[in-house]
Structure 1
Amino acid sequence: MGTIQIQNLTFGYPDQETPLLSDLSVSFDARWHLGLVGRNGRGKTTLLHLLMGDLQVSQGTITTDLAFHYFPQPLPSGADTMSVNDVLLAISAAEPWQWQVEMQDLGLPLTIMDQPFGTLSGGEQTKVLLAELFSAPDGFALIDEPTNHLDEQGRTQTARYLRQKQGFIVVSHDPSFLDDTTDHTLAIEKKQVSLYQGNYSVWHREKTATDTREAEQQGTLKKEIKRLTVAERQREAWSNKTEAKVSAAADRGFVSHKSAKMMRKAKNIERRNTTAIADKEALLKNVDDVEPLSVPYTPWRESTVLRTNAVAVHLAGRQLFQPVSFVLQRGDRLQIQGPNGIGKSSLIHALLGQLPATDVSGSFQVPQGVTFSYLPQTFADPDKLMTVVGPDALKDQTILYWLHKMGMPRPRFLVPVQKWSMGEKKKLLLAYALQRPGNVLIWDEPTNYLDVDTRDQLLAGVQKSDATMIIIDHDRQFTDAVCNRQLALIR
């Protein structure tokens, strides 16, 4: 029976003030369906790479008799221009017919095998890499964010695959997906790592109850810490004064038994109070403070913000979806729906004028003066990300304000963006979009890679806002809660 045993593991990157993981000791059974959860930047992906041996352990040990298989597999250099078939040949140990079976189950046409990988949508690329995972001949699966960009069919198929697996570790910020696939949860929390027997809902229920108790105790704890601190200072002053008298007496050649006993008692009280203060402060530090997040926008003066008439997008001579016509009114929150690869993002790119005119048919009628604030879905390449947000983004106090509101600690701003997690990069892109309010907010897959707390912040912020929005997202709970209109693209 396979196991993973981690003993006293400490790991931090060279540019971090404090270790990312500190004195971690935990054991996993290879039969577990383990969900790995925690806020962005807490070290979930790092832990997977430590298990893989891609990173060197600073202190402690990892002992296992398992061979690991990681998702997503690293892509070969130049993958964007390689065919899907060549990419899979480079990263997979399975036979081609096995990928093809899995791709068809995921809803991918086999005609894409000869298509350049870089021309696929984000969801289609995820499905290709999932086909590699599903067809892998062996290995204990370490799965990092499998549902990003995935449509409903892809999520259903991925969940079905995982339920049939004997054991795995999966990182995800999708509560419904985790509830559907896991039976144990490892949570990397603010000041500790906790292991729970049960799925995401079990962890969330217990964590919420603990946080609620601690929040209720915060006022009392803070008063008690203040009282202990004041008392400690008074005792320290008294102790110093007494010690000075005793020292003077010692210089004269005598120390009373009573004075020595009083000094020892004072020192013992000091140690106990110091421990009590540290213990009570630790209780406060494990609660994540999630502040409300507003969604700023610039209201348009007229009721109609946008009209489209028989718009379609063509790629390599192929029409992606049937022509669509719609009117966007002030205050509408329109969800664009459709399976992976149908052209949802392409429709947005057409609206923003980012496609050649020859690839777009139909017309957009945008009143003069209407401005768009665009949140793109693609941001993985840090160089491209910094091109979008600007090289001085982390000197912009408004962007730093939004990042801090989304739970990023200030010391993280000093770490190069290249070393940020995918969720942290997504937060930077989101902060950039939030500090540029337009008349229409266009968000392409805003919840991808975001931790649950930030996703819920975003959801509540949109619900309280009167912003006019166009949203693409495969998180049904999110879109059902915030969108009041739907536009379904069909082939």
Structure 2
Amino acid sequence: MSQIQIIDLTFSYDTHFESIFEHVSVLLDTDWRTGLIGRNGTGKTTFLKLLSGAYPYRGRIRMSEMAEYFPVDIRDARKSSLEVLEEIDPDYEFWRVLREMEWMGMDSAILERPYGTLSPGERIRLQLAVLFAKEHAFLLIDEPTNHLDEEGRQMLASYLSRKKGFLLVSHDRRLLDACTDHTMAIERSSIRIYKGSFQTWQREKSLRDQAELEQNQKLKKEIRHLEAAAREAGRWAGNKEKEKIGHKVGGLKPDRGAIGHKAAKMMKRSKVLEHRMEKAAKEKAGLLKDIETVEELKMFPLDYEKERLVSVEGISFARGDRQILKDFSLEIRRGDRIALKGPNGCGKTTILKLIAGIYQPDEGRIQTGSGLKISVVSQDSSEMRGTLAELEEEAGLDKTLFRAVLRKLDFSRDQFDKRLEEYSEGQRKKVLLAKSLCEPSHLYIWDEPLNYIDIFTRIQIENLILERKPSMIFVEHDSVFTERIAKSAVRFEKDPQSAGFKAVFESSGLDKEQGDV
């Protein structure tokens, strides 16, 4: 057991006017399985990079174990997986790596394959196996679930729950609950550590926020009373001062000494009340800094005049020698929210692109309702180029509405003048989501919309969809989101009768086989 001491940490990028971290002090135990959470742009990845020694900083970071950052950037994907293993750790012990691979259900034969042929899940598992095989290493794991399917996430959660200690950045609530025992939250004005998983943090944070809001209301009321009392005391003191130079009363001169004494007492009381009011105001100003306000979003689903929006009839689709879909059928009706589930490579994204008209089927047909307006959020945002203004013009967006939605997604105004290629993955995804929310549509086609998106924004979007009830078909590996949003699902399962997958329709507990994929 050892500790990571972070003392008076201050850091800012050369291109930023404000510090990402300012005078931060935190104590971590390397035996803890700690989840690191916070909104996009709060510095979670930066924090991991600082611990790994990637950036210069002010302050002190003390740790006895070696910090290892995941994912490792492998530049040459043509290398064999065994060569990549050596690149990650030249001093690796082969038996240790094989042990970790076995615990993750990996076949050692993949070490003979070119790294570039491995699936995203296989690459993640291989890298983690090498890093966890290192002795005296503390892992800094940065968003390992992006593009991982449901099965891959379950495997990862099971594996991490058996490890000794790490610091994990993830927006997957189920993963955090399954494998962490502490939560480190980068909040609005501080960093706090909670004992327990994400649900524990969420519960304690909610109680603390509620207590602060109640105290805030109490202080507001107290300040109003103190302001009124101070004004009244000041008025009395002023009136008494005037009596010192007033006219005779009953032929007698006023006792200026007595009146002055009483006026001074009233003035002193006024100053005491003013001091108490200032103290209460300062106390009030210290509240609400860490409260996460989730603003209400808007979207504009259109009501289609007919019941059926899209009909997919017996389509097949292949890429080269690989048959991706075969004799697949599906119907999307008004009010449907259909989730496509299954392992990576089973054809989920292909189906969305076929429905959106990006691909054309080799066989069968897709009938889209006349005049049907479709809004798409694509899985990949890496090709986004240009400025927000250019995007607004090209997509015909209302600039005021679009930027208001971005602000509600916690997008800072100083980001508006940057080019899209300078945005983080999470920021680019928020741009795509905001664009879709601003497009009045009959059908929303979303492909992994929550990759890189923080937990608070996920909750915002869930609540919006449940309120506005748009017609949707989507792919999303965040199981909490899917369980809350989907009204039905198409699950792709390995077909023992063939080399491909079969599609099973799930709705209200009733399963109905569709066709071979």
Q: TM-score, structure 2 length as denominator?
A: 0.78
| Partner of residue 192, structure 2 | 194
Structure 1 residues 267, 57: closer, same or farther in 2, change over 3 A?
Answer: farther
| Partner of residue 488, structure 1 | 491
| Partner of residue 88, structure 1 | 84
Equivalent in 126, 135, 139 of residue 131 of structure 1: 126
Larger relative contact order (CA 8 Å, sep ≥ 6): 1
The within-5 A match list for 1:75-154 is 75-76=74-75, 82=78, 85=81, 88=84, 91-93=87-89, 98=97, 102=101, 105=105, 110=110, 113-114=113-114, 116=116, 124-136=119-131, 137-138=133-134, 139-154=137-152
Q: Is the 8 A contact 1:100 1:110 kept in 2?
A: no
Equivalent in 360, 375, 378 of residue 376 of structure 1: 378
Which string of whole-angstrom CA distances, capped at 9 and with x for unpartnered residues, describes residues 202-247 of structure 1?
A: 21111100111222344333344566678899999999xxxxxxxx
Structure 1 residues 237, 453: closer, same or farther in 2, change over 3 A?
Answer: farther
Q: Is the 8 A contact 2:5 2:61 kept in 1?
A: yes
| Partner of residue 450, structure 2 | 447
Per-residue deviation at 1:171? 1.0
* Comparing 386-395 and 27-36, the one that deviates more: 386-395
Equivalent in 333, 358, 363 of residue 329 of structure 1: 333
SS class of match (1:340): coil
Structure 1 residues 404, 222: closer, same or farther in 2, change over 3 A?
Answer: farther
Q: Distance in 2 between matches of 1:275 and 1:260?
A: 22
Q: Distance in 2 between matches of 1:90 and 1:270?
A: 69
| Partner of residue 248, structure 1 | none
Structure 1 residues 194, 457: closer, same or farther in 2, change over 3 A?
Answer: same
Q: Which has the larger radius of gyration?
A: 2
Instruction: Tell me the amino acid that sits aligned with residue 328 of structure 1.
Output: I
Q: Is the 8 A contact 1:141 1:167 kept in 2?
A: yes
* Comparing 214-223 and 427-436, the one that deviates more: 214-223
Q: Distance in 2 between matches of 1:16 and 1:326?
A: 49
Q: Distance in 1 between matches of 2:39 and 2:145?
A: 17
Which string of whole-angstrom CA distances, capped at 9 and with x for unpartnered residues, describes residues 58-100 of structure 1?
A: 4x21111221111111241xx5x74774983585335899589
Q: Distance in 1 between matches of 2:176 and 2:20?
A: 24
SS class of match (1:320): strand
Q: Distance in 1 between matches of 2:66 and 2:42?
A: 25
Q: Distance in 1 between matches of 2:277 and 2:105?
A: 63
Q: Distance in 1 between matches of 2:385 and 2:236?
A: 57
| Partner of residue 41, structure 1 | 41
Q: Distance in 2 between matches of 1:301 and 1:111?
A: 55
Q: Distance in 1 between matches of 2:94 and 2:300?
A: 49
Per-residue deviation at 1:430? 0.8
Q: Is the 8 A contact 2:445 2:474 kept in 1?
A: yes
Which string of whole-angstrom CA distances, capped at 9 and with x for unpartnered residues, describes residues 436-459 of structure 1?
A: 232210011122222222111111
Which string of whole-angstrom CA distances, capped at 9 and with x for unpartnered residues, describes residues 227-270 of structure 1?
A: 6678899999999xxxxxxxxxxxxxxxx999999999999987
| Partner of residue 62, structure 2 | 63
SS class of match (1:386): coil
Which string of whole-angstrom CA distances, capped at 9 and with x for unpartnered residues, describes residues 176-216 of structure 1?
A: 21121111111111122111122212211111001112223
Structure 1 or 2: more helix by fraction: 1
Q: Is the 8 A contact 1:33 1:181 kept in 2?
A: yes
Structure 1 residues 220, 440: closer, same or farther in 2, change over 3 A?
Answer: same
Uncovered stretches (5+) of structure 2, i.e. residues with no partner:
238-259, 494-499, 501-517
Matched, 1:320 2:312: no
| Partner of residue 300, structure 2 | 296
Per-residue deviation at 1:472? 0.5
Q: Distance in 2 between matches of 1:109 and 1:408?
A: 45
Instruction: Tell me the amino acid that sits aligned with residue 128 of structure 1.
Output: R
The count of corresponding residues between Structure 1 and Structure 2 is 462
Q: Distance in 2 between matches of 1:421 and 1:234?
A: 56
Structure 1 residues 224, 265: closer, same or farther in 2, change over 3 A?
Answer: closer
SS class of match (1:385): coil
Structure 1 residues 283, 420: closer, same or farther in 2, change over 3 A?
Answer: farther
| Partner of residue 157, structure 1 | 155
Structure 1 residues 87, 455: closer, same or farther in 2, change over 3 A?
Answer: farther
The within-5 A match list for 1:338-349 is 338-349=342-353
Q: Is the 8 A contact 2:81 2:110 kept in 1?
A: no
Q: Distance in 2 between matches of 1:262 and 1:441?
A: 68
Instruction: Tell me the amino acid that sits aligned with residue 131 of structure 1.
Output: L
Q: Is the 8 A contact 1:106 1:157 kept in 2?
A: no
Q: Distance in 2 between matches of 1:236 and 1:424?
A: 53
SS class of match (2:357): coil
Q: Distance in 2 between matches of 1:27 and 1:345?
A: 43
Q: Distance in 2 between matches of 1:486 and 1:108?
A: 34
Q: Is the 8 A contact 1:294 1:462 kept in 2?
A: no
Q: Distance in 1 between matches of 2:390 and 2:310?
A: 33
The within-5 A match list for 1:348-427 is 348-355=352-359, 357=360, 360-379=362-381, 381=382, 384-386=383-385, 391-393=390-392, 396-413=399-416, 420-427=423-430
Seq. identity, %: 34
Per-residue deviation at 1:109? 9.3
Matched, 1:13 2:5: no
Q: Distance in 2 between matches of 1:155 and 1:279?
A: 44
Q: Distance in 2 between matches of 1:172 and 1:299?
A: 36
Q: Distance in 2 between matches of 1:309 and 1:108?
A: 41
Per-residue deviation at 1:327? 1.1
Q: TM-score, structure 1 length as denominator?
A: 0.81
Uncovered stretches (5+) of structure 1, i.e. residues with no partner:
240-255
Instruction: Tell me the amino acid that sits aligned with residue 316 of structure 1.
Output: G
Q: Distance in 2 between matches of 1:314 and 1:32?
A: 47
Cα RMSD after superposing both structures: 3.8
Per-residue deviation at 1:325? 0.3
Structure 1 residues 32, 430: closer, same or farther in 2, change over 3 A?
Answer: same
